[in-house]
Structures are given as C-alpha cells and as structure tokens.
Structure 1
Amino acid sequence: MHTIHTERKTEMEKRYFSIAEVQQHTTIDSCWIVHDRRVYDVSTFIQRHPGGEQMIVQRAGRDVSRDMAGPPHRHSSNAQRWLQQYYIGELRQDGDQEEEEEEEEFAQKKQAVRERSRANRESNSVMDARCKSVDPDNDLVDWNKPLLWQVGHLRENYDEWVHQPVDRPIRLFYSDFVEACSKTAWYIVPLVWTPIVIFFSWYSYTELAQGNTRLFASIATEYFIPVHKYCFPFLFLLGMFLWSLVEYLIHRYLFHMKPPASNYYLITLHFMLHGQHHKSPFDGSRLVFPPVPASLVVVLFFAAFHLLAPGAVGMSIFVGGLCGYVVYDMIHYYLHYGSPKKGSYLYGLKAYHVKHHFEHQRLGFGITSRFWDYPFHTVIPEETFEKNH
C-alpha cells in the first residue's frame, strides 16, 4: 500500500509540458528536446555534442527519438544514459493529431537560431545547476565528500561505475589547497609552458649555431658527426613525434590500466590519474594537466634526456617533446569543449575521442592523432565509428 502511494505521489510531482511549450525553447541558451515522450533541457550540453551544435539546434523543440535510434547515427547506451541527466518532465498527451499540427506549424514559423557569443560560452568550469548528474540516494559513493578516498572500496564495481559518465564536477581531496593544485583552467598550460619552450628552443639553437656539437658515428673509431643549427627544426619535430608515442603509451598502459578489484591503492591511483576524467569528462577544470604535478613529470623527462643525449641535441629533442605536450593538452580540451567544422580533421578527432569515452574505453587511445592506434591494433572499428556516434 505504501509503495502504491509513493508511486502516485511521484507521478503527481512530475512536470508536464505541451509540445507548444517545448517549441518555445529552440535557442542555444534554452534548448529543449523530446525523446520517448520525455522532455529534456540540453542547453548546457549543446556545445559538447560530438556532432556539433547545429545537430541539436536544428532539432530543438522536436522529438529526437528516431534520430538517436538511427540510421545514420545510432547512439550508444552510455549516450542514452547521459541524456537522462537533463530530464525535466513529461510530454503532455493532448492527442496525436493536435501534436502533428502544432509541429507542422512550428516548422513553418521557426526563426533562425540566435548565436551566442563565444566569450560567454567559454566559462565552463562551473557546472550548470540544472545538470541532474547522479541520484545521491542510489549512487555507490557519497558525492558530498571527496571521492578519491571512497572509490577504492567499490572493488569489483569500480570499473563499471567509473565508465558510466556524469555531468558534474568532482572533488578529490579534503584539503582546499591540494584540491586547488589538482585543477586548472585550460589557458594556464600555454601561459606556463610556452615561455619555457621558447627559451629552451632559443638556447638549443644558439648552442648548435656555435658549431661545437658532435655526435659519435662510431665509438670504436671515435669518429664524430657535426650537428649544425639547421638540424634544430628536425630534432624539434623528432621530439614532437616521440611525444605522440609517449602520449599513446601513457594513455593506454597507465591511464587505462585495470586495477585489481582487491587492491584499494591501485584503484585510488587509477581514479586520481585518469578515472575521474572518465567519470566526469566535461569537468572543465580537470581536462588539462595542472602545472604543479606536470612540472614533476617534466623534470623527470628532462633528466632522462640529459643522461641519454646530453648537450644541445638532447635539449632540442626534449623541447620538441615539451611543445608536443602543450599541443596535446590544448587539443584534448578542444575535443571536449570545441565545435570543429564538420568534415575537418578536428571534427573527426572529436567524434573519435567521444567514442572512446562513451563506448570503446579499451580502444582509441590516440588524442592528437589516431596514428599509433593502428600499429598497436587499438583503432576504433571504422564501421562502428561512423554509424554509432
């Protein structure tokens, strides 16, 4: 009896909207859609849609059930689950004929969508209060507390939980200072590292220009090969190329390690390194590597290069790799928040990366390029990639 009463109360608390009310929300600032007679306010998601903003805006105020089911683009179960975060109510059933007439009238009178300035849309680090990210009563963790110390207790449930994305910010640490060091705005990365790249590029080039740099051609004969300043661009590009391999290896083997369900510490480490990004892929403050921990990694790479290839040659390769890292972080941020032109290289990368997050977490580890996915056999199948995103 209590269950029946609860169900009736829940039904009464639901909000209902007519199709005419839904059709009043067709702009980037206020965009509603209908799916299976449920109404969703996707205003905060438009910019993040892997198919581009216009794919949603053109369907604003309409039923998108057929579009999501495909063809040509069948949306994954994770995409269906993601949509539920923006649920605001039910579509009022006023009669199918009346709905069809209203939709037809709406289609004839619909005005061009007003574009919102990009400057106002850049502020994504604060999540919209309308995002219905999780059910706090039924989730496996307490979202009112830092998550880092909780996830290790999920054990065998961790892998499934961490790959069910939500749209809300994540707090990792109790300490406000440590928490601040674990987050950063995207523009901090080029502000911090670009001057360093420029300085070491200048240093490496001037060292090579002195004409004193030599490489061993044969240790046995002590024969040297001179390295001229004109070699600097090639050494720099070699560093960027090597970084693309490092990027792939770190992403695949470290960030996507599958920690044993019984190991609390490895689960915690995985969540801190990358799991939190898959759980909340649109947390704008955690899409790039914060300078404080990044500086520790950069120093380690610098020391390694200094030991393996001392002098200007090693420095030239190192600074190219550092530049590759900056490019990687900027592209990664753009793949989550940018709206590349359809058919462009970045458009393909964005769709590819979104597939990695929502459907193929064990494939598609390339960020700036798919190049290394091919020799390592981790490329997302082309047919699935084209039809399902």
Structure 2
Amino acid sequence: MSPLVSPRVFSEMEVARHCTKYSCWVLLGTKVYDVTGFLRMHPGGEALILHRSGNDVSLEMEGPPHRHSENARRWMEQYYIGELDTDSNADETQTVRERRKTQEHTVDEEPSPLSKCSQVDLDTDLVDWRKPLAWQVGHLGEKYDTWVHQPVDRPIRLFGNDFLEASTKTSWYIVPAVWMPLVFYLSWYCYTTLALETTRLFASTDYSVLVHKYSFPLIFIMGMVMWTFIEYCIHRFVFHMRPPAHNYYLITIHFLLHGQHHKSPYDGSRLVFPPGLASVVVGSFYLLLTKAFPETLGVSLFVGGLFGYVVYDMTHYYLHYGSPQRNTYLYSLKAYHVKHHFEHQRAGFGISTTLWDHPFNTVIPEQTF
C-alpha cells in the first residue's frame, strides 16, 4: 500500500466477524491482515489460523513453538488491509467473537474483496512486474540472491510470447497422465521379459547371475531409492547453485529452472515439471541405465526411478497446496519444505524424503520447527 494513501480503519467488532475459512482476518498489534488466501498454504494447517482469527497473533509469531522468520513476516505484509480502531467497543467485540465461533462454518461467503490488494510494491521492487521477468533478473547482479529468496504471493510472467509462456506452465494432473502409462507398460515389459530367464548380470566373463522375474519388485524399489538420490543432487547442486553475480546468463538460467519457484512458491501452474523439459532428463537416465546394465535390468531400474519421479512431483505439489493431518509424515514433510522456502534455502533439499539430507549434513535443525 502506498504511504501516500491513508490505511483503512476497522473496528474490533468488524475484525472479529471475519473468522471463517471464507473470510479470515487476524491482527498483528494494531495492523489488520486478511489471510483468507493463505489458510491452505499454512504449514501448520488452516485450523491453527482459524482458531486465532479475529485476534492478535503477535505472540504466535514470536513463538514458541518457533519464532517466524523474517521471510514469513515479509510474506504476511502482502495481506495487510488496514489498521485497528483501538477506541471501538471491546465488550461488544467479544460477544461477536463468541457468537461467530459457535456457528457452523457452512455458509457460503464471498471472499473479501480486500484480499485482492497488491502483492508487490510495483514502484519500489527491483524488477518491473508489469513486464516479463525472464530477461530482467540477470541485471540484478549481486542483489539477485537476496531478491529471489524473498518470496511473494503473486503469479510470475516469464515471457511476453503467449505460446512460450504457456509452455512453462503445467497442471499437476498432467504429470501422472503422461508418465504413468509408460510406468505401467515398462513394468509389464520388464516382468514378462525377465520371466523368459534370459537376463543375466555378469560379474566376470566366467560368472553371471540370473535376474529372476520375482526380483523385479526389488529392482523397482531400488530404482525409486536411486531417484531420491538424483532428486537430492539436482535440487541441491543444480537448482540451488549460486550463479556468479556478474554472469547475466547463469542468473537467468537459474531463475528459469528454480529461482522463479522460490520467488513465487505458491504459483500453482509451476509446481511440477513440464513433460517436455522432464523428458530430456528422463531420456538421459534411460540411456545411461540401459548402457550401464543389461537392457532389461537397466529398464527395470529406470521404471522404478520414473515412478519415483512421479511421486516426487505429486508430493511437491501437495506440500504446497495440501493440508495434511497433524502428527503425520506428510505434515512434518510439509513443515520441513516450507522452512526450506522461507528460512533455510541452503538446507532441506529432500522433498519426497529427507533421507539424503542426513548423510550430507543438510538437515534443517529441529529446533526451528
């Protein structure tokens, strides 16, 4: 909000009325925030915010159980809608809160139009959000790394050309629709080929081991585990490389590959990989595995890895938009991944699993949760 425009003032009673998942407001001191659009993104689940709707969340922001990061506080400012009128009637406000909390949340309400406030200060940001960003970010130089790790809740336009822009966006269901038929076909092919008992793994020219059809599930699982390692390495060493501040092209490539996701982590159209881009990586690993091992064994490992990739992409999407139950594996994984985005960008590289963060010492400290 521009400093030249006086902020809107709300009474305590008006703030207290907004305590449903269709319109949820909270206070931070005397500042009012409409966090309706953030409910399902919150790593702790929407219930934690709804329970505190209409109230001051200053203590929760400071912790325990954890102190919210500066990025989390900066993110919250995107939902700022005005100031609290501290002279409003407190008794009447409490009555409204109690009455609203006991009502059934089944009434369909229109989202507050105030939630459509500007997500980015278009006049002061380092890039011009009115134009495609792909060719701008390379000019940020040494400011790029700090800028790209200050997330915003705003869609990103990468390219001016509509066709090129559309090619960078993918709906989540496209991933299983494209790759799962191939997983099923190759699984059937590998199992039936192994059943012919002609596939042997040679330890030397004089000694070989028959690869039996019943070993296919184990090989498939080995392929999935192999993928989790590949996932970790790509995320850590490719997606989180630090492009030299003076290199316009490497900064641009980094932004297109992964930087745009950290800048706008809730852009739902860019949470999974476009099949065209993924096919280059998938095809490369297919050729590598079939050259390194007997063909059927290599394909068996590959199809397990391909299924692992599908699980990874679906898990990644769910960690951003799902609302897992508390005290479940996905709940802890979601909290872990959100910490990676908002506070620990140089750690927590595991997405579908935190397995490889442990031996490579990139685990996000537990005390930060």
User: TM-score surpassing 0.5?
Assistant: yes
Checking the alignment, whether the CA contact within 8 Å between 1:164 and 1:279 is kept in structure 2 is: yes
Q: Distance in 2 between matches of 1:63 and 1:76?
A: 18
**What does 1:253-268 align with in structure 2 at a 5 Å threshold?**
253-268=237-252
Instruction: Note if 1:319 corresponds to 2:312.
Output: no
* Structure 1 residue aligned with 2:63: 70
Whether the aligned pair in 1 keeps the contact of 2:201 and 2:294 (CA below 8 Å) is: no
Q: Partners in 1 of 2:351 and 2:277 — Cα distance?
A: 20
Task: Give the letter for the 1:80 counterpart.
Answer: R
* Match status 1:105 vs 2:95: yes
Which whole-Å CA distance do the structure 2 matches of 1:243 and 1:113 have between them? 46
**Residue equivalent to 2:126:** 140
- The superposition leaves residues 144-187 of structure 1 with CA deviations (integer Å, 9 ceiling, x where unpaired) of 11111100000000000000000011111222111111111111
> Are residue 94 (structure 1) and residue 78 (structure 2) matched?
no
Structure 1 position 113, deviation (Å): 5.3
The residue number in structure 2 matching 1:3 is none
Task: Give 2:351's aligned residue.
Answer: 367
Structure 2: 5+ residue runs without aligned partners?
Answer: none
Q: Give the distance between the partners of 2:274 and 2:332, measured in 1 at CA.
A: 27
Residues 1:341 and 1:131: Cα distance change in structure 2 (over 3 Å): farther
Tell me if 1:184 matches 2:177.
no
Q: 1:340-380 deviations in whole A, cap 9, x for unaligned?
A: 00000000000000000000000100101111001000001
- Residue among 270, 289, 306 paired with 2:290: 306
Q: How does 1:165-314 map to 2 (within 5 A)?
A: 165-219=151-205, 222-314=206-298
**How high is the sequence identity, in percent, across the aligned residues?**
60
Counterpart code for 1:206: T
Specify the alignment match of 1:20 in structure 2: 13
Q: Work out whether residues 227 and 305 of structure 2, in 8 Å CA contact, stay in contact via their aligned partners in 1.
A: yes
- Is the Cα–Cα contact under 8 Å of residues 183 and 290 in structure 1 kept in the other structure? yes
State how many pairs are aligned: 364
The AA in structure 1 aligned to 2:105 is R
For residues 109-120 of structure 1, the aligned pairs below 5 Å read: 109=99, 110-112=101-103, 114=105
Residues 15 and 54 of structure 2 are in contact (CA less than 8 Å); yes or no, is this contact kept in structure 1? Answer: yes
Q: Which runs of 5+ in 1 are unaligned?
A: 1-5, 122-127
Q: Is the 8 A contact 1:131 1:168 kept in 2?
A: no
Q: Does the C-alpha gap of structure 1 residues 107 and 116 become closer, same or farther in structure 2, counting only changes over 3 Å? A: closer
DSSP-derived class of the 2:209 partner: strand
Over the aligned positions, Cα root-mean-square deviation in angstroms equals 1.9
Q: Would you say 1:41 and 2:27 are equivalent positions?
A: no
1:51 aligns with 2:51: no
- The reply to whether residue 340 of structure 1 matches residue 340 of structure 2 is no
Instruction: Report the AA paired with residue 164 of structure 2.
Output: V
Relative to structure 1, is the Cα distance of residues 254 and 111 closer, same or farther in structure 2, using a 3 angstrom cutoff? same
How many Å separate the matches in 2 of 1:234 and 1:327? 17
Q: Is the CA contact (8 Å cut-off) linking 1:27 and 1:113 kept in structure 2?
A: no
1:93, distance to aligned residue in structure 2 (A): 1.7
| Aligned residue in 2 for 1:157 | 143
Name the TM-score, length of structure 1 as normaliser: 0.90
Q: TM-score, normalized by length of structure 2? A: 0.95
1:296 Cα deviation (Å)?
Answer: 1.6
For 2:320, the aligned partner's letter is H
Structure 1 position 31, deviation (Å): 0.7
* Mapped partners of 2:254, 2:349: distance in 1: 16
Match of 2:74 in 1: 81
Please report how far the alpha carbon of residue 94 of structure 1 lies from its aligned counterpart in structure 2 after TM superposition. Answer: 0.7
1:237 partner letter: I
SS at match of 2:208: strand
Distance 1:21 1:348 in 2: 35
* Partner amino acid, structure 1, of 2:98: Q
Using a 3 Å threshold, how does the CA distance of structure 1 residues 368 and 112 change in structure 2: closer, same or farther? farther
SS across alignment from 1:380: coil
The one-letter code sitting in structure 1 at the alignment partner of 2:27 is V
**Quick check: 2:157–2:165 contact (8 Å CA) kept in 1?**
yes
1:133–1:167: 8 Å Cα contact kept in structure 2?
yes
1:95-142: CA deviations, max 9, x gaps? 6xx42x24432443222452699xxx9xxxxxx971532101000101
Deviation at residue 14 of structure 1 after TM alignment: 1.6
Amino acid at match of 1:41: D
Counterparts of 1:248 and 1:143 in 2: how far apart (Å)?
Answer: 32
Instruction: Give the Å deviation of 1:310.
Output: 3.3
Check the 8 A contact 2:141/2:248 in 1, yes or no: yes
Distance 1:379 1:342 in 2: 21
SS of equivalent residue, structure 1 residue 31: strand
Please identify runs of 4+ aligned residues in structure 1 that moved more than 6 A. Answer: none
Paired residues of 1:211 and 1:226 also in contact (CA < 8 A) = yes
Structure 1 position 22, deviation (Å) = 0.7
